[in-house]
A and B are shown apart, each in its own frame.
Chain A
């Protein structure tokens, strides 16, 4: 299971990386953490002509919070984000999701940007980005572009990043007062990809849900926002019957895959359970944060 022949470039700046991407386009793969890309190469499922290793671009790492947004450089290691007090404070949903990504050794190398650029619909970070309407910043030959999460995820392992663009940063809106979060996941084993996962954020004002956001992992070929359920919840008091109905609406809109680990039917049932559990936990957390 050895990697196939491949050329290798190690740019030191974003503009060098963009130049290389413009030169090679679809024949190049960007090597960030490598935790998703290298297995694909080892299995000879991916055959890029050139690897553009961006691990040497120092300007791509960093976590900062300002003006109600958390900015995370694309090369920020998942473990760094996981240990960051800034992340925990500003975007608790992200902090809840990060420890669920694989295992410690994966998070030692895996990057926040890499996970979002790879866009595995069963992964945790795409669901968080979609739930919170994160913004993804790409750099290309004609400059920078900001892509809202709703427009970023196009299909299975496919994003709207052009072949000559590099994802440089992702921005998450900071959680306001009265916001509680939950990341629920059903996986075969601890650390495995979710069969179904759910990122939930609920904001309570005077005991009423003023904002509800939910996005599924593993329920589609992209992270799936449960818009119909969110609309039901807005303005309502949190009650078990409401959560049951939200669950019903959420699963009516999804068409999950069937695979070795679970059928579509199974994933729908689990998705419903996660909505109920996710909302309960998020509301409990919201109450604590008030």
Chain B
């Protein structure tokens, strides 16, 4: 099993690596690139904690091999607010007390961000369905939904 050289764009920067083919994108981001914001909650594609955006789509990075991301544009939670300021969604979630322990947060935020980009006028039920593949054990979800609704409202208000 030989390593494969890959080049990809992560959070706007060109990154390279030589992962084994069996290494997941999640582990590559965390271990090889030091981007530990993406979390491992189950490693079998159910909990959504590992969600990142690849070529414009939210994906579970534990269900992609790193080698499959060669040539792709990947955005992780660290890339959502590159200039040091929180993005609209992050700010709205802060204002809404969306989170508690924070472990589900990066995946939840990335999934919500991807969804809002495509569905800026989604209603509560649509947001719940869109986030139903991201498990949170602390909040009961209401505060997260409120944060997403607030972000959507603020984006519309601009």
Residues of chain A touching chain B, judged by Cβ–Cβ distance below 8 Å, are: 1-8, 10, 31, 34-35, 38-39, 41-43, 51, 53, 55, 79, 102-106, 108-109, 189-191
Contact = CB atoms under 8 A, between A and B. Distances in A.
B52 to A, nearest CB: 9
Given A6-B1, A34-B63, A190-B132, 4 more contacts: A2-B22, A7-B1, A38-B45, A106-B45
A218 B129 CA distance: 23
Contacts of B58: 104-105, 108
B23 to A, nearest CB: 8
Given A3-B22, A6-B22, A8-B67, A190 B129 contact: yes
Contact of B63 (A1, A51, A109): A109
Interface in B47-90: 48, 51, 54, 57-60, 62-65, 67-68
A103 B48 contact: yes
Given A53-B68, A105-B51, A1 B44 contact: yes
A42 B1 contact: no
B132 A191 contact: yes
Interface string B28-44: 00000000000000111
A6 B68 CA distance: 15
Contacts of B62: 38, 42
Contacts of A10: 67
B67 A104 contact: no
Contact of A8 (B21, B24, B48, B54): B21
A191 B133 contact: yes
Contacts of B65: 8, 31, 34, 38, 51, 53
